[in-house]
Amino acid sequence: MASPLLQVRNLVVEFPTRRGSLTAVDDVSFDIAEGEVLGVVGESGAGKSLTGAAIIGLLEPPGRVASGEIILEGRRIDTLSYDQMRRIRGKQIGAIFQDPLTSLNPLYSVGRQLTETILTHTDMTPTKARARAIELLTEVGIPAPERRVDQYPHQFTGGMRQGVVIAHAPCVNPRLVVADEPTTALDVSIQAQIIALLKKLCREHGTAIMLVTHDMGVIAETADRVAVMYAGRIAEIGPVREVIKNAKHPYTHGLMGSIPAMGHDAERLEQIPGSMPRLTDIPVGCAFNRRCLHVHDRCFRERPDALPVEDSRVACWLYDSANAMTLDEAKRAVASKDAGAVEQANV
């Protein structure tokens, strides 16, 4: 089998403080194949955006990659200098940031900003680069792109500015795109165009995409696999349909249960008790142990590894062979709201 386009191995991101280092991303590992979309979901503060920032080499100081490896097309990139990463960003790695106001230069027209990127990384002539910029603006749904290309960011609406930011990512057909909330502030019709554009990049150019979002609808429509993050770690990773329809980790099950579904007549949606721990208060063992309905003694003592379960990997002791519990029993326990189901299954 060919090597994945992107490999992240045991990534740890830390923030040094006067009281010691805080671990924001803790031993995260995943691959993204050529032409694949990996969705990354989780609560705010779970480490999704920091993982993406580490991959593209734009962690805000004092944040740093403390350990682990990031390998792009067989080349390790987490040890490269700032200047070396600048040559990779834009050409091999495209980025879509969440806040368009901080991504666009207010002093330059959007056309100049797009054409500068194109001219920096390709051998196009200025005329062809301008034509390519207009084409990109059309693809992301900017009306009258021939006129808009010479306007400035302040002359665009918030959603249109986000569209311009998204247009930057595929300028030179990069090998990897890290998209952080790319459909935020966009209406449904523009969201559909953005999703179509991302799929086109995968289909026609073999681009790998890491899609960070809170919108499970976007994940379901766009992603091939999904990684669910919690407190800086991956709780579950697997094929998107399997994770959505048959969640295995108790946190993933609660996350999916909190999403309203058409035709579902329940009076109340499920909710996960408590809140995600702060970086200064990550518990020993499983980070989810204070909120889990199926917690047992081992969860307070040992941190679970990512265990293979069918086509997924799940960081939960319910699926460890050391537990006297079959896969079917574990699934029933996760699907049950009765915390006693786990205890009975382990008897």
| DSSP letter for each residue of 244-297 | HHS--SHHHHHHHHTS--TT---SS-----S-PPPGGGPPSS-TTTTT-TT--H
Residue 337's pLDDT band (cuts 50, 70, 90) = very low
Asked if residue 342 is part of any domain, the answer here is: yes
Q: Which residues are registered as beta bridge partners of 22?
A: 15
Structural domain contains residue 135: no
Residue 342, pLDDT above cutoff 60 = no
* Cα–Cα distance measured from residue 133 to residue 244, given in angstroms and rounded to the nearest whole number: 37
Rounded CA separation 24/75 (Å): 25
Q: How far apart are CA 192 and CA 186, in angstroms?
A: 10
Average pLDDT of the chain, as a whole number: 87
For residue 181, being part of any structural domain is answered with no
Q: Is residue 334 part of a domain?
A: yes
Q: Residue 289: is its pLDDT beyond 80?
A: yes
Provide φ and ψ at 208, rounded to 5°: -90, 140
- The residue written with tokens 């059309």 in the block is 138
Cα distance between residue 49 and residue 52, in whole Å: 5
Tell me what the mean pLDDT of segment 113-128 comes to.
91
172 within domain boundaries: no
Q: Per-residue b/e over 231-252, b at no fewer than 16 CB within 10 Å? A: bbbbbbbbbbebbbebbbbbbb
As given in the structure block, the two tokens for residue 22 are 């805080």
Q: Which amino acid is at 326?
A: T
Q: How confident is the model at residue 336 (pLDDT cuts 50, 70, 90)?
A: low
Whole-prediction pTM: 0.86
Choose between 59 and 268: higher pLDDT. Answer: 59
Determine the angle formed by the axes of helices 188-205 and 158-168, rounding to 10 degrees. 0
Task: Identify whether 177 is part of a domain.
Answer: no
What's the confidence (pLDDT) of residue 334?
A: 61
* 94-115 pLDDT, tens digit each: 888 877 777 899 999 999 999 9
- Partners of 158 in beta bridges: none
From the list 222, 203, 236, the residue with the least C-alpha distance to 34 is 203
71 within domain boundaries: no
| Interatomic CA distance for residues 194 and 140, integer angstroms | 6
Q: Is the pLDDT of residue 339 over 90?
A: no
Is 346 buried (19+), middle (13-18) or exposed (0-12) by CB count in 10 A? middle
Mean pLDDT of 263-279: 81
* pLDDT exceeds cutoff 80 at 43: yes
Evaluate if residue 11 carries a pLDDT over 70.
yes
Cα–Cα distances in angstroms (integers) from residue 48 to residues 41, 55, 138, 234, in the given order: 7, 11, 30, 10
* pLDDT over threshold 80, residue 324: no
More confident residue, 45 or 32: 32
pLDDT at 329 exceeding the cut of 70 = no
Is the per-residue pLDDT at 190 higher than 80?
no
User: What is the per-residue burial (b if ≥16 Cβ within 10 Å, else e) of 279-306?
Assistant: beebeebbbbbbbbbbbbebbeeebbeb
Assigned domain for 253 exists: yes
Domain count, the chain: 1
Phi-psi region of 173 (alpha: psi -120 to 50; beta: other; left: phi over 0): left
pLDDT at 333: 63
Q: Is the pLDDT of residue 322 over 80?
A: no
Residues 210 and 30: beta-carbon distance below 8 Å: no
Task: Provide long-range contacts, Cβ within 8 A and 24+ apart, for 256-261.
Answer: 256/216, 259/216
Residue whose token pair is 């319910």: 318
Range of the domain at 314: 246-346
